[in-house]
Amino acid sequence: DNKKRDRVASGRENMDFMNSFEERSSYPEVILCKFGEVILKGNNRQNFESGLVKELRRRASPYGNFKIYFKQSTIYVEPQNDECDMEGMYAAAKKVFGIVAVNRAAVCEKNMDAIKKCAAEYLPLKLSGKRTFKVDAKRSDKKFPLTSPEISKEIGGVIHSATRGIKVDVKNPDVIVTVEVRDKNVFIHGNQIKGAGGMPVGSAGRVALLVSGGIDSPVAGWMMSKRGLQLNAIHFAAPPYTSKRAEMKVRDLVSIVAKYSGRINFAVVNFTEIQEAIKEHCPEELFTIIMRRLMMKIAVRLAEKDNCGALVTGESLGQVASQTLGALACTDAAVNMPVFRPCIGMDKDEIITISRAIGAFETSILPYEDCCTVFTPKHPRTRPTLKLIEEAEGAFDFSEMIDRAIENVKYEFVD
């Protein structure tokens, strides 16, 4: 009977604790960002780590005053006052390429009494609604008196007592509680949340992304940025055939990608004069391929001005007539730098899945025209030869129009 009364009282205390958690919890929080591939970088590793810290500091500026530094394969994001927006910073950190896991963690002193108290006070909210857990202790300070298994056992007992109805499951738990014993402090948190992964933006160089108003090109930019490439973006507009709203749609898509890639230099090229000349002087069945070649020629010149080492497009093999093997070969022959096509082997469903995941899909399907749909031929040639294309393109001198288009490019930085 005494044991039953104790369990009932313990249950009431736990419910009271849960109801008053916000008032009672006094432990400061930090955001812990874990590295991915960066840890494999040998002698160059510090450059990658410094790049990640720099990018996180840039992302932190709208959310308050944070101290950001790296140590032991982890970047620490510490709020310096109560005005810091931890929710905003946490969301921003999850979109930084190069970081594979992000956690909000409580900070406590490095002794078992403090760790137990913190676990009992901080963790029940993290475990609310969960049925099973396990504790994984990581003791980088080997002088700490308890071993990692001993810490796990002690904290597991605390959680079991403080949180009603939850059980230990070491094989397939709903939540893995991690206790990290570091040099000066101990950090306690629940499940690791997946970060953006990949490599730090800028660590692999700079490229120019040809971005339309469709689904594919924002996904292509996101994919290449994930591999460490800094993006410039180039959009071809054709007023009055394309509207200002269509241009703003593309800008919005660039802004969505920039949430992951960081600031993007966005260039808008007026392509109207060139498209009208293509319509007047070139065979209709070749309109699209010649248009793509002239776009690529302009893009290369803009890319070279900004020290970009390659172009990026959203083309997927066979998706439309201008994306057949022969058409792509004719397009590439117009430029003298690499063209990356990360979507080339993907089907539309795979591309849409990524588009939805990065938040671009709903904007991409807004029904505003882009210049690629202007003067679309009824029967485009799907198996062109380079000789045929070069003869058709060479029948008219586009060079002065290309120069004018480049001279009148509109630039802006998009975050």
pLDDT digits (tens, 9 = 90+) for 297-310: 999 999 999 999 99
Helix axes 386-394, 325-332, angle to 10 degrees: 50
CB 322 within 8 A of CB 182: no
Pairing of strands 264-270, 410-414: antiparallel
Name the token pair of 327.
């058409």
The DSSP annotation for 74-107 comes to EEEEEE-STT--HHHHHHHHTT-TTEEEEEEEEE
Alpha-carbon span 115 to 156, nearest angstrom: 12
- DSSP letter assigned to residue 199: B
On the question of pLDDT at 14 being above 60, the answer is no
For the segment 25-70, what is each residue's pLDDT rounded down to a tens digit? 568 899 999 988 887 777 778 888 888 999 999 999 999 999 999 8
d(CA 10, CA 151) in angstroms, rounded, equals 23
Question: DSSP H helical segments within 112-243, as ranges?
Answer: 112-127, 148-162, 216-226
Measured CA to CA, the distance from residue 170 to residue 133 in angstroms comes to 7
| Mean pLDDT of the residues in the chain | 89
* Mean pLDDT of the 263-289 span: 94
On whether the CB atoms of residues 385 and 394 are closer than 8 A, the answer is no
Low-confidence winner among 98-112, 194-208, 274-288, 366-380 (lowest mean pLDDT)? 366-380
Question: Would the pLDDT of 4 be above 80?
Answer: no
Which contiguous run of DSSP H or E holds residue 389? helix 386-394
Residue 48 has what pLDDT?
A: 85
pLDDT digits (tens, 9 = 90+) for 147-204: 999 999 999 999 988 887 889 999 999 999 999 999 889 999 988 899 999 999 999 9
| Stretch 102-112: mean pLDDT | 94
Q: Give residue for tokens 């070969």.
A: 329
Q: What is the pLDDT of residue 16?
A: 39
Confidence of residue 222 (pLDDT cuts 50, 70, 90): very high
* Res. 12 pLDDT band, cuts 50 70 90: very low
CB of 244 closer than 8 Å to CB of 410: no
Residues 96 and 51: their CA atoms lie apart, in Å, by 11
pLDDT tens across 84-93, in order?
A: 999 999 999 9
For the cut 80, the answer to whether the pLDDT of residue 392 exceeds it is yes
Question: Which pLDDT value is given to residue 325?
Answer: 92
Residues in the chain: 415
Average pLDDT value for residue range 277-282? 94
Task: Indicate the pTM of the whole model.
Answer: 0.85
